[in-house]
Structure 1
Amino acid sequence: MHLQIVRLLEWKIANHGKRFINISNKRENSFRKVYKEFWSPKLINKPPYEHFTQVGDPVLRTKAAEVPGELVNSKEVEHIVEKMIKVLRKFDCVGVAAPQIGISLRIIVMEFRDGLKDILPKPVYEARKMCTLPLTVVINPTLTVTNYEKHKHPEGCMSVRGYSAEVERFHSVLLKGKNLKGIENEVELSGWNARIAQHEMDHLDGKLYIDRMDSSTFICTCWETVNVKSGRVEIPFYK
């Protein structure tokens, strides 16, 4: 999720290449073999990426596969998570789901840094009920709504770069799942952090915020600059 002020058993590879990993009862390529293929020296860039996949990429519209319990604390999964954290911080965002770096697995990473309080306008920070969220890694997460009150705020996504829209989200949720050590954890989230969790969980089910948005509020976040610069504006997909 982009913060905007206005913002494994055996495996079978299917569909659009090795990013799509589904559990299979057949004796086929193991997870580790598939994983190593990600890193074989080829000219074509392979996931996990160090950029965000963009809307239109089939990986964003596919329900991600669960990570089998025996592989939760594997080196392969650990490396994927390290990539997710790197991308999260590289692009200064607050949440990332594995499909966003090209890996169709049910993993999310979230972090709302304390320093954002000094960057965001105080009225915005308070109105959107923002607060610090330490780095949180959740594997095979499940989400339960604990407060059905809804709030509508502008929301952006690094996989729909350069745009935002208002989206209704539930006020409070309970997020459960395993950490990298395979320990089951749960965290109660409310306000903006609950929004981050709902946004990232949508990614694991092949959904984007544009599926939930108030379409009348959908905007290009740099429309004013486009006018001032006579259209000479670039929306970068790198950093």
Structure 2
Amino acid sequence: MKNTIPAVEKAMATLVLLASARNGASQAALQQGTATTASTAYRILQTFLKHDWVRKRQDGHYELSHGLLPLLLAFRQRLEHFDHAQGILDRLASENDIACKLSIRQDNEQLTLLRAEPDAPIALTGRSGSRFPLIEGTVGAALLSREDDERIAELIHDCPTAIAEKEQPELVFNAVRDIRRRGYAVNIRKNRWNIAAMSAPVSNADGAVIAALTIIGLEADFQGKKRQALARCLLHAAAECRDSVALT
């Protein structure tokens, strides 16, 4: 983790911010969001402009540009795998009358990539593209289940958000141990959203965790035999996603 190049890290962070900005971003906003100096932010943007990875609009805001398309086309097949995974989520939500989502890790955050809701008037999952601290909830435990405990402790220590897992690291370690032991972890309302969730890791052929599959509901959804049935469905769906989201 100490062998990275700070300038490259700042450039990557700039692209991530631009990707998440719905209406572009000013140089000042990018500078603040990446904690760079004005001159560094300017040089990063000028480099991206040169290669058409970023364009400057008439209002002075920056946004991603067409120069990135060759990179995106290289991932077309993988996006098709995610389309298949969406079908798995849709079926999981419909058959169990419960919300679910697929999350991936981006640096020290978890990103909601896909979601599915049952046919109900109230939705419990956050929108696709939502970001949360990596260590938070059962999603975090699933994404971190193959990390060693020392690295998990570092991530807890470095988390900038005041969440329960930051104040009570045992919440993270207990959930990670549950996943290592039985393949999934359950959180019954011990979170800032006051909802219940069950997560399982999605691994690739080498055993590396590439995503977390989560079902989300109320406390009553995870009691007794219903909890056991949901766990079986979750683990089966995670295995299906493993075959669909082949990110190797």
TM-score scaled by length of structure 2: 0.30
Q: Looking at both structures, which has the greater relative contact order when contacts are Cα pairs under 8 Å and sequence separation is at least 6? A: 1
Give the greater-gyration-radius structure (CA). 2
Q: Indicate the structure with greater helix content.
A: 2
| Larger relative strand fraction | 1
